[in-house]
């Protein structure tokens, strides 16, 4: 069998919290993993079956009247495999940011498009800041749906809140920088933002 993917471990980790149907898994992934590992959502109806095939999870049919639902639960072997994965340092972040890619090549377009993109990035980040703030308030008042997991959940929640605030600050700064531009290239009126340290005397230039 092919090795387990990070998505496999994301599903396995949720099964370690409690048993779920695939519908419940999809809902919980949207709540807890969307900002960390969104690709897991696209394979939610297949990944649990793969885990069952490897002996890392079980599947049981539950009926509500005539309506059947498959409930997945982690096995002891699954918990061992999850602990092994958790014991090894994970890979660092890989940025996948279409809007930022558009900023990087904005000199191939026009100033109006650049400004519109920056405004959209700021508005999206501000919305994420609001959502993060609401989530932090929920954790503070009730502990969320899994208060016994709050110590580690809070670590991630703080990262996501700080990341959204960083993007919002950056977008606001970038909007201010291009406010006085008349184009997207030096020849048409774009200026280099003041991000470089001042030159110092002595020493060789690199």
State the residue for tokens 């703030």.
133
At residue 199, does pLDDT exceed 70? no
Inter-CA distances, 96 with 38, 59, 102, 151, Å: 11, 34, 12, 28
Query: Please, which residues have CB within 8 angstroms of residue 109's CB and are 6 or more apart in sequence?
Result: 102, 184
Q: What gap in Å lies between CA 62 and CA 123, rounded to an integer?
A: 44
73 and 44 in a common domain: yes
Give dist(CA 134, CA 138) in Å, integer.
6
Of 107, 106, 148, 103, the closest CA to residue 122 belongs to: 103
Query: Which tens digits make up the pLDDT trace of 18-47?
Result: 999 989 998 998 888 888 888 766 678 889
Residue 73 lies inside a defined structural domain of this protein? yes
What are the tens digits of pLDDT across the range 5-15? 998 999 999 99
> Domain for residue 201, yes or no?
no
Question: What size, in residues, is the chain?
Answer: 206
* pTM given for the model: 0.82
Domain assignment of residue 203, yes or no:
no
Q: Are residues 21 and 79 in the same domain?
A: yes
125 has pLDDT over 50: yes
176 and 106, same domain (yes or no): yes
Tally the domains of the chain. 2
Structural domain includes residue 105: yes
Is 199 part of any domain?
A: no
pLDDT at 205: 46
One domain for residues 36 and 109: no
Q: What percent of the chain has pLDDT over 70?
A: 94
Q: Can you give the CATH number for the domain in which 65 is found?
A: 1.10.10.10
Q: Is residue 193 part of a domain?
A: no
Residues spanned by the domain of 111: 98-188
Q: Are residues 25 and 68 in the same domain?
A: yes
Count Cα neighbours of 147 within 13 Å in the Cβ-side half-sphere.
6
The answer to whether residues 77 and 111 belong to one domain is no
Distance CA 96, CA 17 (A): 29
* Residue at 22 is within a domain: yes
pLDDT at 200: 61
How far, in Å, CA of 95 to CA of 107, rounded?
21
Mean pLDDT, residues 175-180 taken together: 96
Burial (CB count within 10 angstroms: exposed 0-12, middle 13-18, buried 19+), residue 15: buried
- pLDDT value for 44: 82
CA 179 from chain center: how many Å?
A: 30
- For the chain, the average pLDDT equals 91
């Amino acid at each position: 069998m092919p090795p387990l993917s990070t998505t496999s471990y994301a599903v396995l980790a949720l099964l370690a919290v409690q048993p779920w149907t695939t519908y419940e898994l999809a809902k919980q992934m949207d709540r807890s993993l969307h900002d960390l590992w969104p690709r897991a959502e696209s394979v939610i109806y297949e990944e649990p079956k793969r885990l069952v095939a490897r002996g890392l999870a079980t599947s049981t049919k539950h009926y509500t009247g005539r309506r059947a639902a498959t409930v997945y639960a982690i096995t002891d072997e699954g918990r061992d495999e999850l602990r092994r994965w958790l014991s090894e340092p994970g890979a660092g972040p890989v940025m996948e940011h279409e809007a930022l890619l558009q900023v990087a090549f904005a000199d191939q377009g026009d100033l109006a498009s650049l400004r519109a993109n920056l405004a959209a990035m700021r508005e999206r980040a501000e919305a994420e800041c609001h959502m993060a703030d609401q989530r932090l308030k929920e954790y503070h008042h009730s502990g969320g749906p899994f208060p016994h997991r709050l110590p580690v959940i809070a670590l991630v929640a703080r990262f996501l809140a700080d990341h959204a605030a960083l993007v919002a600050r950056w977008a606001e700064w970038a909007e201010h920088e291009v406010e006085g531009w008349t184009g997207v290239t030096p020849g048409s009126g774009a200026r280099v933002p003041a991000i470089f340290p001042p030159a110092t005397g002595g020493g060789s230039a690199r």
